[in-house]
Amino acid sequence: MLSLRFAIPTANSLVPSKPKPRPGLVQTGANQTDFLSSRFYNIPKGYDYRLEAATTDVANRRVMEAEEEVEVVELPPGLSRDLMPKHVAVIMDGNGRWAKQRGLQTSAGHEAGVKSLREMVELCCQWGIQVLTVFAFSAENWIRPKVEVDFLLSLFERALKTEVESFSRGGIRISVIGDSSKLPESLQKLISEVEEMTKNNTRLQLIVAVSYSGKYDVVQACRSIAEKAKDGQIQLEDIDEGLIEQELETNCTEHPYPDLLIRTSGELRVSNFLLWQLAYTELFFIQELWPDFGKDEFVEALTSYQQRQRRFGARHS
């Protein structure tokens, strides 16, 4: 169920293919509707809803057309598209240690970590992975020095502002999970705007866990179910795994359960991340610190995943 980068007998014989250069993101026009809004033009009120619907339809059509035109990139040797995980989760660990090893401020490590995430998003798009969930800021991280916490939140806000247009053009949907009530109001507002702007994109869903913990997720789901039971919306016998799963924060995606969890920096734990959702997830631990995690390391993790047999409790003859 987990990997420490030991050699694993290859179960799938694959013909190596020659990788192609990575193409850039494809423009979809999904972010080109705001300038047509009645906020900027004196459009008669009676026609506003028609313009909004028309521009939304055009944007959605352009998104779908652009996603259909995306070049199919050959996979690195040894990987199979048929065996690619639908959902990959990542605990991005080691930014601080990376900076310390180089005599830099912790903030420099976090900046380098953003670059690693940007590359991983691009690779997921090219290789057909549908959902990428990253642990950006845990509920426990609030106890870190205030200067580091403030920097992390400002870095996240800045990254959202600078990347949202390219993500939108690339057909990437952004979702944020976690206890957003603790975040600055400006960041809460920005998250809502980004989620709304990218909600129709289907090439990749990037789920960012901020102020998140697995225990929090289960507790908030239980509270929601208790409220519904109190109001008579559900009965005791209605409560089952399916109902709980509907109330978890990962209900924002069609594939809520990661097939593969990657943790960098050599730590061998899940650190209160997606505790319910990781029940049958394959685990891969790697020594590289997150800023050093790139294409080669991602290929290694995916190769390990594709060589495993997933039985989900059954016995294969």
**pLDDT per residue as tens digits for the range 109-136:** 999 999 999 999 999 999 999 999 999 9
Is residue 161 predicted with pLDDT exceeding 70?
yes
Look up tokens 């939108």; give the residue. 168
Provide the pLDDT confidence category of residue 39 given band limits of 50, 70 and 90.
Answer: very low
Alpha-carbon distance of 88 to 90, in angstroms, equals 7
- Region 203-207: mean pLDDT is 98
Closest CA to 90 of 118, 109, 54: 118
pLDDT tens digit string along 263-304?
999 999 999 999 999 999 999 999 999 999 999 999 999 999
Catalytic center residues: 93
Q: What is the pTM of this model?
A: 0.78
- pLDDT of residue 56 exceeding 50: no
- Cα-Cα-Cα-Cα torsion 238, 242, 248, 252, nearest 10 degrees, comes to -120
Residue 193 has pLDDT above 70, yes or no: yes
Q: By the 8 A CB rule, do 287 and 5 touch?
A: yes
Going by DSSP bridges, is the β-strand pair 2-3/172-177 parallel, antiparallel, or unpaired?
A: unpaired
Q: Is the pLDDT of residue 309 over 80?
A: yes
